[in-house]
Each structure stands twice: as C-alpha cells, then as structure tokens.
A and B are shown apart, each in its own frame.
Chain A
C-alpha cells in the first residue's frame, strides 16, 4: 500500500526547517519531494537598500556556520568590480579563517550525522574536540561565529605572532583528536551498518543534478573551487582534493574528515608564508563604479557564489547569493529512492544542508 509520509518542516533531522514529502510503498521510499523557503528573510532585497559596509555585515548573517564565507565572497565580488587589490597579508588571513571555519563546519556535521545514527558518544567526542577550533576562531577574531573579519579592501584584524603560535599549538593537539575520531569512525560497526550503502548518489547523478562541494566529492567528482579556479592565495598552497568512491553516507563522512586534515595543512602553510605588512586599504564606505561580477568561494558545504551588480552609488543594485545547499538539495529525492523511511532523516542531513543559507 502506498502512503505519503510528511517529514518536517520543523527540525526533520537537524535544527533547521525543511519539508520533505515521501511517497512510500511499505517502509520503502519510492519517490520524494522537497519544499524549501521556511527561513526566507529577504536578505537579497535588504542588501539593495544598504551600503556596501552594511551589506557586508548583513550577508555575514545569512548563515551562522559559514558566515565568513558569505562576507568574503561578497567582498571579493565588490573588489573585482572596483578594481581593488587587497594586501597579500589579508588574503592569507582570509585563508586561515576560511579553513578554520571549514573544520568546525565539517565536524559539526559529522557530529550531527553520528547523533542521527544514534552514536551519541562519538557525537559528543566530535563536538567536544570541535570546541578547540571554536576557541581558535574566538582568539583570532573575537567571536565564535559572525567573525566580522572580511571587509572591502582587506581584513579587519591582524594576527599577532603570539596568537599564531597559540593556534599552531592548538592545531597540533586537535590533529591528534581528529586522528582518533577518524580511526573510531572508520572502524566502528554501528557507523558502518547505518551509513554504508545508504543514500547513494552515483557519480552520474551528481554530475547530472549539479552537486557541488564535499557532497559531490563524496560521489567521486573532483570539484573544488580552490583548485579549479584559485582565488586569494590558494594557488600558492599545497593540498589535495579529497574524493571517495562509495557515493553513500559513509563516503560523505570520510570526505569531510579527510578535508579537515587538508585544512590543517593549509593553515600551517598560510602561517608559514604569510608576509608582514598592512591588512587593509582603509576604505570607509566605498562607492563602486557601475559593473557586475560573480565570485566563487569554496565554502565548507561547497561552491558559494556571489553575483553583484553595482550602479555607481554606495549601494549595490543587486546581490544574488547562491549557496551550495541550493545545488545539493535537489539531489535528496534521488538519494532517498529505494531507502527506508527510517533512513530518511540521515539522508536529508547527509548533504550537510544549510537551509538558512538556501532560503536567504
């Protein structure tokens, strides 16, 4: 017998709203539809009514997890239109903050996934370890989220030698924790039973639907803006694009864990190579000449793009924000098909969705 099972919109698998409608045969999902928009705040419209400084602050609040990514991508697009080249040191600082943000975002998701499969001891360990990264972000920026670092023409705060030393020491400790966590996850029977072969998104489907970020990389598609279209100083840094071939939820966990190691590698190189000098060009409220640009940034969940149209005033004419979840969410119905209703929550969560980002 066929049933329609509604899931959400209130906290279906993580604490953000989305509505999924599952068409089931017995306990198996035959088809599914996703409905979004429950967190729409009209941020793109608000951006048209604020100057560039206010808009930077506004877009940073699109998402609490990848807040720096939003501000950074917006600022990069504005700088491109204005023809402004920020100081090199600011680019290294932006890389450091971006990679710390990636680690905390990935581990946050790994914790949610572990919680969804009922492995709460590993969930608590992963989030406990993550606090070290949050402390580093607080040390460098003054905030745990919404860092306020990216600004037009550079960054707002410098990283002193003392703080750099503390972060590098903290990373050494954290790397050991991460190794332990990875070891647990790779060899745990419960994790394997609940994630292997579940929510498969084949490479062909990932390419067809246009999946991006770690979600695509877990389907063995090697896309990464940092490599494909280098920006800031990513072109000067050595790191690997992590892919995994099993295309299931387990694959998504593994890719994110491996990426954390790569991020640590990037941060160490950034501290090593960061030149001395100014950190911003001292702009107040910029007036940007007419033009348009689109800048891409590899946010923790994948490619984040900001399309900005300037009209020669101190306010943008259009700020169009396109986030990784908007590209990855359409893959959910494909992944749900053939799985059981019991796994639906985990599969929805496996794209590491940010509905706050997606709804804007």
Chain B
C-alpha cells in the first residue's frame, strides 16, 4: 500500500529536514509546487520512505532556501523547474542558465532555430495589426 502524509513546515525547517533525510538515506522523490485558488504558493518536498511519501509543505512563501547543496541534481532540477514555470525563488540555486530551453533560442542564436523567433512574432503582430 502506498501512503501519503502531508506535514506542514516553516521555511526555516526546509534545510534541517533535508539534512536529516539525507543523513538517513531517504530518497527525495520530488519537489512540487502550485498556486492555490487564492494565488498562495504551496511548495512541497516529497521524501519517500519505503511505501510512505512524507510531504513537507511550506505555504505562502515565494522565496525559500535551495536544498540543491544537500540533494544535488535530485533537488536542483525540480527547483529550477519551479523557478522557471512558477517564478518561485530558491536561495542559493544556480539559475545562470535555463533548464527548459536556453534564452538565446528566441534570438535565433546557436543551431536551434534559424529564423529568430522574435522577428517571426513581430511580423505576425504587424500583419495582424496588433501592438507589441
């Protein structure tokens, strides 16, 4: 049987919890995030202890400390994803390059696309008569 337990924590408890879990050899299953109906952020750290998922959830914080130093890429990738898709900030996380699609692709740099995307968008706006 799979069990799911939600445990509310404060922002200050994120790092000590991650340290404790890492020390005990617990796998970080995932870091999830969402905005509830009132636009309040929920960030949850799902640790998998055999058949139980312990979900340590922080509510109402847009900026939380990164646990990528403790859990390596297992934490860095989900944190970068939440940063890019939701705008949550993770203090100490390396965000110098994007995880999902490099910034340069929109200006047509590199070998990713030949026609700069911003030109395509500009042309479309001109054609359809919209202002940028």
Contact = CB atoms under 8 A, between A and B. Distances in A.
Interface string A325-352: 0110111000000000000000000000
Interface string A207-225: 1111000000000000100
B36 A317 contact: yes
Interface string A15-46: 00001000000000000010111101000000
Interface of A: 6, 9, 19, 33, 35-38, 40, 80, 207-210, 223, 228-231, 235, 292-296, 303, 305, 307, 309, 311, 317-318, 320, 322, 326-327, 329-331, 359
Return the 9 tightest CB-CB contacts between A and B, nearest first: A210-B74, A37-B100, A330-B73, A229-B51, A318-B34, A37-B101, A229-B2, A322-B30, A320-B32
Nearest to B81: A326
Contacts of B71: 210
A9 B73 CA distance: 21
A330 B74 contact: yes
Interface residues of B, number: 38
Decide if the interface of chain B is mainly helix, strand, loop or mixed.
Answer: mixed
Contacts of B97: 33, 35
B32 A209 contact: no
Contacts of B50: 228-229
A292 to B, nearest CB: 7
Interface in B90-110: 97-102, 110
Interface string B32-53: 1110110000001010101111
Decide if the interface of chain A is mainly helix, strand, loop or mixed.
Answer: mixed
A172 B17 CA distance: 50
Contacts of A320: 30, 32-34
A231 B72 contact: no
Most buried by A among B44, B77, B110: B77
Contacts of B44: 307
A231 B53 CA distance: 14
Contacts, number: 100
Contacts of B29: 294, 296, 303, 305, 322
A212 to B, nearest CB: 8
Given A6-B110, A330-B76, 18 more contacts: A19-B112, A33-B97, A35-B101, A36-B101, A37-B101, A210-B28, A210-B73, A210-B74, A228-B51, A229-B2, A230-B2, A294-B46, A295-B2, A296-B2, A307-B30, A309-B34, A317-B34, A320-B32
Interface of B: 1-2, 4, 6, 25, 27-30, 32-34, 36-37, 44, 46, 48, 50-53, 55, 71-74, 76-78, 97-102, 110-112
B72 A208 contact: yes
A107 to B, nearest CB: 28
Contact of B101 (A40, A208, A322): A40
Nearest to A329: B77
A295 B51 CA distance: 10
A330 to B, nearest CB: 3
A231 B51 CA distance: 9
Contact of B4 (A293, A318, A322): A293
A40 B100 contact: yes
A208 B69 CA distance: 11
Contacts of B48: 228-229, 296
B51 A305 contact: no
